[in-house]
Structure 1
Amino acid sequence: MNQKLIRKINNLENIQRFPADELFRFVSLNKEDKLLDLGAGSGYISLPISKYVDEVIALDYDADILKYLETKAVENGINNIKTLVSDFKDIQLGNEKVDKAIASISIHEVKPLPLALGEIYRVLKNKGVFLCIELEKSELSTGPRVSSKNMKEEVLNAGFDIVDIFYPQTKVANQSVYIIVAQKNE
């Protein structure tokens, strides 16, 4: 494995965040679900959620990190994770292919955001749920951020209904987090 990839994996796996299992309480999971993990990285969501759903599609633009995720899945005896090298703005899936989609601290980097949200809406089945976990924008923010207010507006503009918005006390890398639960209702 090359040094750049090793550094990236270490960075991803050492981010201070709350346990992925805690996120799952914000979305009802069914054993028949096909779930899209947007910005899957090293598998923070994909690996633990795989035991609750039929199939996980782990999407990331980085083919090398997805190869690492595939290796981790095999090492853990997980065989229902499919990896997909793709861009949020052009998700290589057909219309209405997934029941749930989760973007955990990944969609804030996508420009233009409406295009990515439109793609998520397109690949979700009717009544499908989108869980958006993001870092709140503040004066202390480093890097690109989208405020919860702006994200809510963008999610609504993409056609979703907002089910709920949560502001957990837990911080990620010393930054406040928000969680938007949205649903596709056609």
Structure 2
Amino acid sequence: MEHNQPDQKFLTKIAFLDSKQRERLIPPEVLINQMPIHKNHTLLDVGAGSGFFTIPMAARTVGNVYAMDPDKRMLNVIEAKAYEKGLHNIEPLQETIENLSLQNDSIDFVMASLILHEVRSLTTALSKIFEVLSVGGHLLCLEYEKDDLIVEGPPMSIRIQSAELEKILLTTGFEIVQKTKINDAIYTVLAVKPKKQRV
């Protein structure tokens, strides 16, 4: 039976995704404005949550923006926000990264914000993203640094060290374009699916 009443834990999660994160990260619009997103690009937000990045991404393109999250309730929140803002190019996908059903070589830009530390296998997840990206397409990863001095954020045991993430990205076939520290706790890595595949 489906409850119409959202549970408190879910509401708390939404409140966190919409406020705390928004305060601590640079505004999503600022980050997205710095990304190689063109007006006709097809975009994918993996682990879209409450649409923190999905909504501003959808405002940047006339192409489809896929909002992927395993939690249907999160997708409902995104759809409500999109409706409110008059955005009609968001396609909800109730899936996990490892089981993405999108066509290979069909996405121009992927956002993976604070989600990669939750996947079972980082290599599998990044390989799947690599497959769906078109040649020359970009992936932006945003994660908490694995550093004992940084208490804020997810448990240290599940965090991904930036050096480790870079190594797996390279092994998967990506090229690193840029690394940025947003603040002491959070870093981003922008990677590209190169035109010439390494043999």
Indicate whether the TM-score tops 0.5. Answer: yes
**Is residue 2:151 matched to residue 1:147?**
no
1:88-99 equivalences under 5 Å are 88-99=97-108
Q: Count residues with an aligned counterpart.
A: 181
Distance between the aligned counterparts of 1:12 and 1:158, measured in 2? Answer: 30
| 1:160 shift after superposition | 0.3
| CA positional deviation for 1:56 | 0.8
Q: In 1, distance between residues paired with 2:71 and 2:57?
A: 21
Supply the RMSD in Å over aligned alpha carbons. Answer: 1.4
The answer on 1:5 being equivalent to 2:4 is no
Relative CO higher for 1 or 2, CA cutoff 8 Å, sep ≥ 6?
1
Q: Which of the two has greater helix per residue? A: 2
Alignment of 1:6-155 (within 5 A): 6-15=11-20, 16-53=24-61, 54-139=63-148, 140-141=150-151, 142-143=154-155, 144-155=158-169
CA contact (8 A) 2:72 2:94 kept: yes
Unaligned runs of 5+ in 2: none
Per the normalisation by structure 1, the TM-score is 0.92
Counterpart contact for 2:69–2:95, Cα < 8 Å: yes
Contact 1:107–1:113 (CA under 8 A) maintained in structure 2: yes
Structure 2 Cα separation of the partners of residues 72 and 21 of structure 1: 16
Deviation at 1:99?
A: 0.4
Instruction: Structure 1 unaligned segments of length 5 or more: list them.
Output: none
Misfit runs of 4+, over 4 Å: none
Give the Å deviation of 1:132. Answer: 0.7
Q: Percent identity?
A: 33
**Structure having the higher Rg:** 2
Give the SS at the match of 1:137. coil
2:32–2:56 Cα contact (<8 Å) kept: no
Question: What SS does the corresponding residue of 1:116 show, helix, strand or coil?
Answer: helix
The correspondence of residues 153-164 of structure 1 with structure 2, limited to 5 A, is 153-164=167-178
8 A Cα contact 1:26 1:181, kept in partner: no
The TM-score, its normalising length taken from structure 2, stands at 0.86
**d(CA) in 1 for partners of 2:130, 2:106:** 10
